[in-house]
């Protein structure tokens, strides 16, 4: 069985050597790949000296790195972690087992169940953002996942080779979770411990800009994967606005037989037409998405990776 450990890295010279050594200890037969994303320090040199296969991804962003990893690397089991030593390598066996036993297509390292993420992570807005996005996705897809945005994951070959990576940055974890939920991949969550970065190692995350990018990803996924619900909400808003504008006009007409508020009448009709068009778009796009999902399932059944 070919096992590939994937480590996206950007300026991780303080920790990458230890991370590689930890995974070499736990998985001595695995090939460890470090994709250097334009680091300005000695990350690539240290990783190469530690025995990893080092490659470079010139397009900045973790999503671009993951896209290249999935396309370039052939393996039976893919282990993805970060190069900042926040995910203990000793949990990798627990994460790999469901994939090896063919019980899961993607295994998620759940940081929240044991409470370590909330206590170790010193960025309270990240904790809030994680819970907000988790609640939104769980409600949207009627799932019960506990950790949507963890970077510690294990995939089988089927998932890695058939996932279209669209994100460029740190929203890639959210995209992988959304893709797995929408395409009904088997997901298993395994509790893991989380530790914050060691002193001197700086996070590349930006609370507000990365949070906005994640929310934009959720918004577009909502529109693309759940178009009937998305456009129905828009139609409902437009319908309510049309009623608010149109009720006084209708009341006036029944009382006097005349319409004096002609601009309001035109606006109300326009809002109702837009609401109808939005709902119609939702039904049409929902049919297209269902057909696309059926075609994807057929391609999956023909996949023998």
Residue 129 has pLDDT above 70, yes or no: no
Tens-place pLDDT, residues 196-236: 767 665 655 555 666 676 677 778 777 887 899 999 999 99
Q: Give the whole-angstrom CA distance, residue 161 versus residue 38.
A: 25
Stretch 75-91: mean pLDDT: 95
pLDDT value for 123: 57
Could you identify the residue written with the tokens 């169940």?
Answer: 113
Confidence of residue 16 (pLDDT cuts 50, 70, 90): very high
Residue 104's nearest CA partner among 80, 82, 77, 81 is 77
CA 185, CA 177: separation in Å to the nearest integer? Answer: 10
Rounded CA separation 189/134 (Å): 14
At residue 305, the pLDDT reads 47
Distance CA 7, CA 151 (A): 10
144: Cβ contacts below 8 Å, ≥ 6 apart? 138
In angstroms, rounded to a whole number, what is the distance separating the alpha carbons of residues 156 and 114? 26
DSSP 8-state secondary structure symbol assigned to residue 205: -
Dihedral of the alpha carbons of 213, 218, 223, 224, in degrees to the nearest 10? 90
Helix axes 62-72, 172-182, angle to 10 degrees: 50
Q: What is the pLDDT of residues 136-153, one digit of tens each?
A: 888 888 899 999 889 999
Query: CA triplet 147, 152, 156: central angle to 5 degrees?
Result: 105
pTM here is 0.79
Task: Choose from 59-63, 139-143, 171-175 the range with maximum mean pLDDT.
Answer: 59-63
- Which candidate, 112, 96, 109, 86, places its Cα nearest to that of 190? 109
């Amino acid at each position: 069985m070919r096992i590939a450990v994937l480590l996206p890295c950007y300026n991780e010279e303080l920790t990458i050597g230890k991370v590689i050594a930890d995974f070499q200890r736990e998985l001595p037969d695995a090939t460890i790949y470090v994709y250097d994303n334009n680091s300005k320090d000695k990350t690539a040199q240290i990783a190469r000296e530690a025995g990893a296969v080092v490659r470079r991804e010139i397009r900045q962003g973790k999503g671009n790195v993951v896209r290249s990893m999935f396309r370039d690397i052939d393996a039976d089991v893919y282990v993805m972690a970060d190069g900042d030593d926040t995910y203990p390598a000793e949990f990798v066996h627990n994460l790999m087992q469901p994939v090896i036993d063919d019980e899961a297509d993607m295994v998620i390292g759940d940081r929240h169940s044991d409470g370590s993420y909330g206590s170790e992570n010193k960025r309270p807005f990240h904790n809030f953002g994680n819970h907000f996005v988790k609640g939104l996705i769980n409600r949207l897809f009627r799932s019960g996942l506990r950790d949507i945005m963890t970077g510690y994951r294990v995939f089988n070959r089927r998932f890695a080779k058939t996932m279209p990576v669209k994100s460029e940055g740190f929203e890639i974890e959210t995209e992988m979770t959304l893709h797995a939920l929408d395409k009904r991949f088997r997901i298993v969550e395994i509790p893991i411990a989380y530790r914050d970065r060691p002193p001197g190692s700086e996070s590349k995350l930006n609370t507000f800009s990365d949070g906005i990018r994640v929310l934009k990803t959720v918004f577009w996924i909502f529109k693309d994967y759940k178009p009937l619900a998305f456009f129905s909400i828009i139609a409902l808003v437009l319908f309510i606005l049309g009623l608010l504008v149109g009720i006084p006009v209708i009341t006036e007409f029944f009382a006097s037989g005349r319409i004096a508020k002609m601009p309001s009448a035109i606006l109300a009709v326009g809002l109702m037409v837009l609401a109808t068009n939005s709902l119609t778009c939702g039904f049409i796009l929902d049919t297209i998405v269902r057909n696309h999902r059926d075609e994807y399932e057929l391609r999956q059944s023909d996949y023998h990776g």
